[in-house]
Amino acid sequence: MEQNLPFNVDTLLLFGKVVECRSLSKAAALLGMPKSTVSRKISKLESDLGIKLLRKNTHQITVTDLGEQVYEHSLKIQAEANEVRALVEGSKQEPQGKLRVAIPVFVGIDYASRVGATFLQRYPRSQLEIRLVDDMAHPVKDGYDVVFGVGPLQDSTLLARKLFTLECFLCASTAFLANLPEPITAPTQLNQQPFVDSDFHAGQHKLVLNRGRKHYELSPLIRARANNFQVCKQYILQGLGIGIMPKQIICSGELEEGTILPVLPEWSPTSVDVYMIYPFQLSFSNLISAFYDTALEIISENAAMTAQ
């Protein structure tokens, strides 16, 4: 719904300049307009608002109590206008500078390297430092500009932009499934099979499978465990057991080639949202926006490859 303000915002900013200068003539000179125009606009603003903003005599200008309050609001409006201007101007400039990024190891080396290479090729005036970390990093405390993380945001000084939902699936190599005495048709059979655990669903994430409203908690025989999906993928490809892997960032190529096959595709592990997190004061950084767009583009390409 549109609202018509009882005054002109530009005139409100002009009033702020008059207050700063404490002079109509000085404000007029700074603004590059006749003093009579400034005086007329201030009178119109007072008329529109129905209050007196300034007291004028031949020697000086003083501000009324209400005028001081209006002036404080005009400063906030000016600050917002400057931020909008900086945002627009920044978006027109080529992203440049150094970006330090922390990415959890579960996201994977392949994905991180593709995002990094694409970003650096696209923005030649940028520098990028990516660190693969085991635990959740904090952008400010740990000295990063951007971190990838999961779960709800606990710090109000940070911003989080969702990148993707990590959708995992049960899988095994073609050879492993071919050597089973009977096909796996129920979750209970998984408890008798060797399991490759990525450690991603440990701790607060239990090994739970979901099918609609039905849930089944796994108690598998852990044959191998690693806190990296890439390592676990190699174990699975070597036929060492069944594992839980993400489709978009790790196994898209293997699924397309048929070297890894889904197991019980109607049952799925709990999905996890992945966010790009950064300090609020960097919200206008076009370098961060460019990195986000690149990361989103690569995950979309992986998802498209998986869906084929």
> How many CA atoms within 13 Å lie on the side-chain side of 218?
30
Q: Do 76 and 86 fall within a single domain?
A: yes
Same domain? For 103 and 157 the reply is yes
Q: Is a pLDDT exceeding 80 seen at residue 233?
A: yes
Q: Which of 47, 99, 16, 57 is nearest to 285 (CA)?
A: 99
Per-residue model confidence as pLDDT tens digits over 145-177: 999 988 666 666 788 899 888 888 999 999 999
Query: Total structural domains in the chain?
Result: 3
Is position 153 within any domain?
Answer: yes
Average pLDDT, the chain: 84
Residue 4 within a domain: no
pLDDT of 152 reads: 65
Is 31 contained in some domain?
yes
Question: pLDDT tens digits for 8-17?
Answer: 788 888 888 8
Q: Does 186 share its domain with 49?
A: no
- For residue 84, being part of any structural domain is answered with yes
**What CATH number corresponds to the domain at position 34?**
1.10.10.10
Order of strands, sheet of 208-211, starting from the edge strand that comes earlier in the sequence? 214-217, 208-211, 268-269
Q: How many CB atoms lie within 10 A of CB 292?
A: 16
Residue 302: pLDDT over 60: yes
Say if residue 237's pLDDT is above 50. yes
Domain membership of residue 199 (yes or no) is: yes
Is 150 in the same domain as 102? yes
In a shared domain, residues 178 and 263: yes
Residue 128 has pLDDT above 80, yes or no: yes
Q: What percent of the chain has pLDDT over 90?
A: 34
The residue that leads in pLDDT, 189 or 166, is: 189
Answer left, alpha or beta for residue 83, where phi above 0 means left and psi between -120 and 50 means alpha: alpha
pLDDT over 60 (residue 202) = no
Q: Which of 51, 71, 92 is the last residue of a domain?
A: 92
Indicate if 46 and 78 belong to the same structural domain: yes
Q: Which domain holds residue 104?
A: 97-166+273-307
Q: Which residue has the higher pLDDT, 186 or 93?
A: 186
- Asked if residue 73 is part of any domain, the answer here is yes
Residue 53 falls within a domain, yes or no? yes
Phi-psi region of 205 (alpha: psi -120 to 50; beta: other; left: phi over 0): beta
